[in-house]
Structures are given as structure tokens and as C-alpha cells.
A = this chain, B = another copy of it.
Amino acid sequence: MNKKSKSLSKNQKIVLDFIQKNKKPVKAYSILSNVQKKGINAPPQVYRALDKLIKIGKIHRVESQNSFVACKISNCDTPHKTVFSICNSCEIVSEINDPKLFKNLKDFRDKDGTVFDGYNLEFFGTCKSCKNKQIENTKH
């Protein structure tokens, strides 16, 4: 019963629900067109819900794609501390959960000794499945 467990509003639920259904990150206007049947009519309604969901850590923004993805880390309440891998080929995004990397990032100080509140790290590469496909295509 902590303070953060306040329930979501109608629009927030609709938007979160749609994002969670998708394996890949989704774009704001794709969300919009997919939830219009549920009574969400205009961009601001989507963006407001997105802002809130990001704030409470339920979703993250994939900066390099202008897209949004559900947080896969259970009980995530740490927005702005995110690590993703992004496939250059199929654009699938996975949230990385690596304690050692997290520690490195959390402990990082710049030359001034400045401590940072948050970070966003995106790794780019070719995912296993796309790599396999490429090898198959070479064979033929």
C-alpha cells in the first residue's frame, strides 16, 4: 500500500494495456490509431498518458526511435535508469537487466565528481535471430 500504488486513470490504463500487449516498442500515433475505438481521439490524450506512465516507470521511451515500450523489470519504479539493446535490422528492443552494468552506471562520476540522477543507455547490434537469417541468406 505504498504511495505509488495509486490506480491509473482510464486513458492511462488503455495506453498501458496496448503497450504491454506489444513485444516491440510502439509509436505514439500507432497507439492513437489503435485505441481510437476505446474513446481516445487526439494526440494530447495519448501523450499525457505516456508522460505519466514514464514518470511512474511503467513504460520507457526509446529515445533513438521515438517509441515507447513497457518496462520488463518487475516493480520497476526507476524511470530514467534504463538500458536497452536494439537490433539494427528488425528494430526489436530488449530491456537489459544486468546488475554489474547497473552498478557501473550508478557509481559513475564525471571529472568534477558530479553525481547523476539517471541515465539512458542504448546498445545497437544485430540480434541473434536476424544474424541467423543473414547467414541463411548467404547460403542460397
Contacts and interface: CB of A to CB of B under 8 A. Distances in A.
A29 interface: no
B63 A85 contact: no
Given A96-B110, A108-B101, A125 B117 contact: yes
15 contacts: A63-B64, A64-B120, A85-B110, A85-B114, A88-B117, A96-B110, A112-B128, A114-B128, A115-B125, A116-B125, A118-B125, A119-B121, A120-B124, A121-B121, A121-B122
B122 A119 contact: yes
A125 B114 contact: yes
Contacts of A119: 121-124
Nearest to A62: B63
